[in-house]
A and B are shown apart, each in its own frame.
Chain A
């Protein structure tokens, strides 16, 4: 097993703080990251749903695209309508490839003079190579390697952050602002990946520790690790790249049709558009769905999904225990004829078929601030 303290692992600007807080550090996408703090995964999860959790997501990549043709050039690589995105607005999207499958999922913000992108840690090097190879017409890519990223998530997140920057209180879900928090120049988006209201905050590395300590000093805020981040996003029905979506899945199979806007459906013009638009018109053979095991036994990733006759019809891609719903939860892919909520299936857990049901996502309702 890799040693999380090994010198070849990268450290975020908050590494020393994590260790000081008693975090259990693990290797993740080349970084030493906190998987949990002394509160424990379940406690951290429930705290985030009840109050506010602070996550270090500095391992993720932050990139700026500048140049007059940045929108049209990026639209070659993603199926979202980026031209429609007004300054100060953020959108979830995905890099597709020629096969119509997903290279990475990402957040795209119109930051006025630039597009601000947040990409996954494990994919960021490949994403940057991909963008540099495909973005023409004078578009320049700047890696923001001197900035940290933290997420403040939960029903108290807005109250807490507004103590340091009152203007964040009125920001709507998926909006962006360059805002000073306690005098620190930050990029703030009202977004996150837990299903809760909250913010992602890009902060200069030199001020990251100071800002994290300021937020953690508030009564409502606890530090939250990757373990609870995973259970929170699974309850919220959100895809984890590498598990639920990857280069074997298309956005249509991944139930992400909503990221492909009307104009792009009509015009195409992104990698893999022929395959994706054909699936949009004619349907895909399989689909990502929510799966609720009956009983208490969780079913983990790669668990086979069977129909009532024992035929394999799919596979779980994320599975575990949802502390908020207090039950095992999962999502995965099933053949399209079994994708309807209410369909009874079996899950092959440790050689035994166990009953489960296809259900609508999310498991825990989203509580985004729509204004």
Chain B
């Protein structure tokens, strides 16, 4: 399974034609304590760079974008009861939704782990 990253600080773990999407550890640290996640409905068609979810920290609401085109096939209901999972385990248990890819070639535009790490370090300079 390959893991990819967007410049908007989403990660995707790809398994066949379905990608699990969440926000990166860097993103959750920047947001602070997360108190609510609004997830997309199953069956919703998302477009690359369009609104997919909303994550609310104590202070503010932030949009989460779809890193690729596709249809939502599952949402992480655990986050309703425990949004802090995003802080505790951003890149595992704190996943947001699963999306069925409609154009796998879009994955080529995303970064791999080393590329994302370099990208984040660049932001901090």
Contact = CB atoms under 8 A, between A and B. Distances in A.
Interface of A: 35-36, 40-43, 45, 227, 230-231, 296-298, 300, 320-321, 323, 328, 350
Contacts, number: 46
B36 A36 contact: no
Interface string B14-45: 00000000000000000011011010000000
B58 A320 contact: yes
A42 B58 contact: yes
B54 interface: yes
B32 A321 contact: no
A293 to B, nearest CB: 10
Contacts of A323: 33, 58
A177 B61 CA distance: 42
Nearest to B35: A321
Contacts of A36: 32
A296 B32 contact: no
Given A40-B33, A41-B32, A297 B38 contact: yes
B123 interface: no
Contacts of A350: 38, 54
B32 to A, nearest CB: 5
Contacts of B58: 41-42, 45, 227, 231, 320-321, 323
B49 interface: no
27 contacts: A35-B59, A36-B32, A40-B33, A41-B57, A41-B58, A41-B59, A42-B33, A42-B35, A43-B33, A227-B58, A231-B58, A231-B59, A296-B35, A296-B36, A296-B80, A297-B38, A298-B56, A300-B60, A320-B59, A321-B36, A321-B56, A321-B58, A323-B58, A328-B35, A328-B36, A350-B38, A350-B54
Contacts of A297: 36, 38, 56
B67 interface: no
Contacts of A298: 35-36, 56, 61
Interface residues of B, number: 14
Contacts of B80: 296
A227 B38 contact: no
Interface of B: 32-33, 35-36, 38, 54, 56-61, 80, 83
A297 B60 CA distance: 11
Contacts of A231: 58-59
Contacts of B35: 42, 296, 298, 321, 328
Contacts of B38: 297, 350
Contacts of A230: 59
Given A41-B58, A296-B80, A350-B54, 19 more contacts: A35-B59, A36-B32, A40-B33, A41-B33, A42-B32, A42-B58, A43-B33, A227-B59, A296-B36, A296-B83, A297-B38, A297-B56, A298-B61, A300-B60, A320-B59, A321-B36, A321-B56, A328-B35, A350-B38
A328 B36 CA distance: 9
A363 to B, nearest CB: 14
Contacts of B57: 41
Nearest to B37: A296
Contact of B61 (A41, A227, A300): A300
